Chains A and B, each alone.
Chain A
Amino acid sequence: MFSQEKFGIREAISLITIVIITKIYFTSPALLIKFTGTAAWYVTLISALTAIVGFTFVYLLLRRYPGKNLIEIFEVVWGRSLGSIFSGLLSLWFIAESCIFLREFTEVLRVYELPLSPTSFIILIFVVGIGVLIFLGLEAIVRFSKLAFPIFILGFIVVLVLSSLNFNIHHLYPVFGYGITKSIFHGLIRSSVYGEVIILAVFYHSLQGVKYIGKSCYSAIVLSGILNSVSILAYLMTFPYFTAPRIISLMYEMTKLIDYGRFFQRLDPIFFFIWNVGSFITVATLFYTGISIYCMIFRIQNIKPILVPSLIILYSGAMLPQDATVIITGYVQASREYSWIVYYFLPLITLIVSKFKGNKGEYSKK
């Protein structure tokens, strides 16, 4: 069995929350505001609710097969070959997500801070860092998340509180944005934003049981839903619906606007710290999950032998997109809108099939 280190609920919540909410530092909120206007702040709550429903399928599946992770369940329900295809899809998706995220981070970094550094250089440095973290293992990633989480949240809150100077609550009207139908539609399909909770189902053996996974995942979705909603609310109150969609990183621009007189301004470093730490954890987690699933499919006991080739894939994958526009309006958008198929739909049909087949985990049989 692929070796999986142990961690607790707090670590799990920290990890998943960071992975989910790091997206708000990039282009996703601007795109959401573009489609839903002033309603964006509660559309993300609709997404969170949808994600809770979506994850419930995964949770029911895990409860049906106690002691087995999602990859093992795929194999039990679908058989080795078909199960591997399902798991392979999940693995590919996580690797693709990490490549997209890494490239998005690089592009935004180049826009705002490192315009002269070549894309390949930034990606390479990041990949090396991720390589070190992955080499140290899942436990290192999770412990690092737990360590970074309070600073991450504190930095996030500080930026929001200090930005309140520029808030105008009237910018939240008309209250229904581009219409209820559009809001619900985008709320449903963008539930993919919270889809990374499935990571804990992959690392089932690291937690102490299905109840702990449920508790961690539901808590992470609720927490990140609130944080996402609050941050989009802040963005909308600072940048009205007609200017927000034009801005690459709303959080960064909001931080740049903090100005409390001559001695208290230019707080971008706070932003950069939490931004970089969050991105680092997110890409490392997504990529680690992707290659872990690969290891589980092919019964590879240790991730280390395939680490270097995998990192080359991450580097190459991140280098593939031609430009920032392709990344922002193409890949990122597609990832936010279609990930639910992989994250929730695959477990759902697996659950349905397992009900029809009537097979259950060993523990349940007893």
Chain B
Amino acid sequence: MNKWLILTAIILVIVFSVTACYDSREIEELAYVLAIGIDEGVNDRVRLTIQFPTLKTGPAAGGNGENGDNSVGGEQDGYTTITFDAPSIAAGIDIANTFLPRSLNFMHTKYVVISEKLAKKGITELLMSLVRYREIRKTAHVVIVKGSAEDFLKENKPTIGTTLSKTMELLMEGTYNTGYFPNTTLHDFHNSVHSTYEQAIAIKGAVNDFKNIKENGDTDYKGYIKTGGEYTAGEIPRKGGSKVDLFGTAVFKWGKMVGELNGDETRILLIVRNEFNRGIFTIEDPKSHNSAISLNVQQVKPPETTIRFEEGRPIIKLNIMLEGELLAVESMINYNTYQLKPLIERAFEKYVREETYKLFEKCKDLNADVFQFGTVAAKHFMTIQEWEQFKWLDRFQDSEINVNVEFYIRRTGNII
């Protein structure tokens, strides 16, 4: 009898305890925020914009806020953006929970979008409040946008399919397929903004108003070979599709944005940081000027970086190893020979080398080691005290670099 009583008591305790009565929240009680935008506030300290799915389609979609495509109904329904001013992010969440029938939940937040204006004033404190907030995963991407975060999120909508979360995730794949923007997450940003090794970077984003694409000859293009990556977000000459551009890199120094890198510079930066996967590069044909050669370039080995100090001055030696595939030769010259193939290889090596020097000088001017050279320099110091006393991030501007590039064309496409 006693055994049965004990067993019943145990079962009752287990049954009641697993209900998680205090923290249980049904899915229909929550609004899953996909993106959070942060601008400078007008009525209060920050202006928050949150974007979340409304979980419905059809004419009624759009809710209390503005509908994703600024219209009622249509196939882009199913999500909404709401903008409001608040004294802080945490307070803003509470404010939003008063006028929303569901509680905001940030466990599925994919983008943290911050306006450039705010980023230039410094976002370390803001970032810390995001990092401290338990619901926000540090895998969320950090995007710094030209203009306002509010406008950016209003234009953030699916162009293929109807799922915004999928669109946002797949858009981030661009970093692996092109290298035109970095894959900066809240984790990376948090680490680097407090770092003694490096300065922080973030994804550059903007709303493309489609005004950069000219219909007539009123452009600065004079027929020379362009790389395709000389733009930053919002400048790409295009029309149609989503107005959201992710292109280039925002450079930070001690939590304040101090500069930006265009697509080409971003690729070089990612190569040096060993974060470049693959991308198509266009260079001028070494034997036929004004003809383009396209190369599908991959980074298969991490760059070798060594640093030595001459009278306290860092001398960096960088060896970049890339390989690629010949994709297109406009001039129709047959480069698939032992004699001619090295010509392209040397031309591309020269291009990467020169771009690396240019980028290095640019970053030295900004005094921002975004290359993560500090992580290598730290090996020369025995203790953290010695390392921190050296102040690598201040001494970076005194450094000098020697770049060597090795590039091999492994394949030549479908044509022998």
Contacts and interface: CB of A to CB of B under 8 A. Distances in A.
B255 to A, nearest CB: 13
A185 to B, nearest CB: 14
3 A-B pairs with the lowest CB-CB distances in the bound complex, closest first: A170-B375, A117-B22, A173-B378
Contacts of B384: 37-38, 174, 177-178, 241
Interface string B123-143: 000000000001001110000
Interface stretch (A140-148, A224-232, A256-264, A307-315): A256-264
Interface of B: 10, 13, 17, 20, 22-23, 134, 137-139, 166, 169, 187, 190-191, 194-197, 372, 375-376, 378-379, 381-387
Interface residues of A, number: 36
Contact of B17 (A116, A125, A243): A125
B387 A174 contact: yes
Contact of B139 (A174, A176, A177, A265): A265
Contacts of A256: 137-139
Contact of A178 (B137, B190, B197, B385): B385
13 contacts: A117-B22, A121-B22, A128-B17, A170-B375, A174-B384, A178-B385, A240-B191, A241-B384, A242-B195, A243-B191, A243-B194, A256-B137, A257-B139
B22 A118 contact: yes
Nearest to A111: B134
A179 interface: yes
A166 interface: yes
A174 B137 contact: no
A114 interface: yes
Which of the listed residues A111, A118, A257, A265 has the most CB atoms from chain B within 10 Å of its own CB? Answer: A257
Which of the listed residues A174, A175, A241, A259 has the most CB atoms from chain B within 10 Å of its own CB? Answer: A174
B169 A262 contact: yes
B30 to A, nearest CB: 13
DSSP class of A's interface residues: helix, strand, loop or mixed? loop
A242 B386 CA distance: 15
A115 B106 CA distance: 14
Nearest to A121: B22
A89 to B, nearest CB: 34
A219 to B, nearest CB: 34
A177 B20 CA distance: 43
B385 A253 contact: no
Interface in A250-291: 253, 256-257, 259, 262, 265
Contacts of B17: 125, 128
Interface in A98-133: 111-118, 121, 125, 128, 132
A178 B197 CA distance: 16
Nearest to A256: B137
A113 B191 CA distance: 23
Nearest to B13: A128
Given A116-B22, A259-B139, A170 B378 contact: yes
A164 interface: no
A63 interface: no
B332 to A, nearest CB: 40
B171 to A, nearest CB: 12
Contact of A170 (B20, B197, B381): B197
A166 B187 contact: yes
Contacts of A173: 375, 378-379, 381, 387
A262 B376 CA distance: 33
A246 B253 CA distance: 21
Which of the listed residues B17, B169, B375, B383 has the most CB atoms from chain A within 10 Å of its own CB? Answer: B383
Contacts of B190: 243
A37 B378 CA distance: 13
Nearest to B131: A246
A175 B190 CA distance: 22
A270 B310 CA distance: 50
B23 A113 contact: yes
Interface string A156-181: 00000000001010110111111100
A259 B108 CA distance: 13
A265 B185 CA distance: 14
B20 A117 contact: yes
Contacts of B372: 170
Contacts of B166: 262
A179 B385 contact: yes
Contact of A176 (B22, B187, B196, B383): B383
Contacts of A170: 197, 372, 375-376, 378-379
A115 B134 contact: yes
A82 B32 CA distance: 62
A113 B23 CA distance: 8
